[in-house]
Structure 1
Amino acid sequence: MSRIAPLEPPYAPDIQEQFDRIMRGAPPLTLFRVVAGNARAWEKFRAGSLLDRGPLSLREREIVIDRTCALTGCEYEWGVHVAAFANAAHLTDEQVRATVLGDAGAPCWSAGEQALIAAVDALHASATLSEAQFKVLSAHYDDAKIFEIILLCGFYRTVSYLANGLDLPLEATAARFPS
């Protein structure tokens, strides 16, 4: 059980509408039910506006999210994303495993994806990109995508803090970290 109890149905109509929009009819995740129990936190969480696709492809977006969650040890969110999006993002089993256990130079990634993972790793380690790292990243991604990459790293680090700090139980249908 989570350290803070999640909302239980029936949900207030406005919350139900927000869950339906985010989850597209599926039952809401424990994360959403816990955060929605605190009106200010839920408003801030949703105001991040990073639950939409944005300028990155689904594949690029999922690589950023999966790697960020792996680096923060957030099996909860990593598992939710792998279960929900890995197939649609055309991530192979080897690539999914590499988001947790591989390095940025793993041969399963294209040059652009290696630059993407190296940027996620750098942001996680030092909260910045060196000139050389930025140059490599910008050789593959335009300014809009670079903003999105940085924002996603920060947003999913926050999501990881929430899931890990509140000790959310893993979703039954979520993937598990590879050993």
Structure 2
Amino acid sequence: MTARIAPVSQPYPEFAQEPLARLSSPEGDPLVLFTTLATDRRLFERFFGGGLLDRGQLTLRQREIVIDRVTARCGSEYEWGVHVSVFAEKAGLTREQIVSTHAGGPEDGCWSAEESCLVRLVDRIDAGCRLDDADWSDGLRYFTPQAVLEILMLCGYYRTVSYVTGGLDLPLEPWAARFAQYGTS
């Protein structure tokens, strides 16, 4: 499969060299997503300026549940697979939970009450681009208002990433997880 925009190759543009070196894949090469974004300096810099992988209001585990769920709902096997491969073990996600992010739901028995709420919030945000009063109150049982804001922003950011990976038809990273590996297609 060939992406719709050819990614940059080495030598990388000067503006992208340091970020690409810092963010290499498990195989040592930068992600195709990143090298494709490096074809446009402004978009590359804006993308990295908007990232939410730093320490925020959510734990690593909570953040990854949000990212895995929203990218799976958007059908972005590329981004879901990258996050499952790089972060799922660090976040302590079980195989059953990984499957649930793609093919299950908040009612699955693998989630704690808090995590079930988190998955439900992601589903509501993704389905309607909003939270109603009941959803907001449900979220506040487990999360601060700032954490719910971060959930909203993560959903939006990774929906955008899903649009980019799908719209550009990026080839899957060879080392990344696949939906089919987790009993889904």
Q: Deviations over 1:72-102 (max 9, x none)?
A: 0000000000000110000000000000011
TM-score normalised per structure 2: 0.92
Aligned to 1:17: 18
Aligned to 2:111: 109
Q: Which residue identity lines up with residue 124 of structure 1 in the other structure?
A: D
Q: Which moved more, 1:64-73 or 1:135-144?
A: 135-144
User: Post-superposition shift, 1:24?
Assistant: 8.1
Aligned to 2:44: 42
Aligned to 1:4: 5
Q: Which residue identity lines up with residue 103 of structure 1 in the other structure?
A: G
Q: Distance in 2 between matches of 1:64 and 1:55?
A: 13
Q: Distance in 2 between matches of 1:54 and 1:173?
A: 28
Q: Percent identity?
A: 47
Q: Which residue identity lines up with residue 170 of structure 2 in the other structure?
A: L
Q: Secondary structure at the match of 1:164?
A: helix
Aligned to 2:177: 175
Q: Distance in 2 between matches of 1:92 and 1:113?
A: 13
Q: Which runs of 5+ in 1 are unaligned?
A: none
User: Post-superposition shift, 1:18?
Assistant: 1.2
User: Post-superposition shift, 1:40?
Assistant: 1.8
Q: Distance in 2 between matches of 1:76 and 1:24?
A: 13
Identify if the C-alpha distance between structure 1 residues 64 and 84 changes in structure 2 by more than 3 Å, giving closer, same or farther.
same
Q: Which runs of 5+ in 2 are unaligned?
A: none
Count of aligned pairs: 179
Measured on the aligned residues, the alpha-carbon RMSD in Å equals: 1.4
Q: Distance in 2 between matches of 1:24 and 1:75?
A: 16
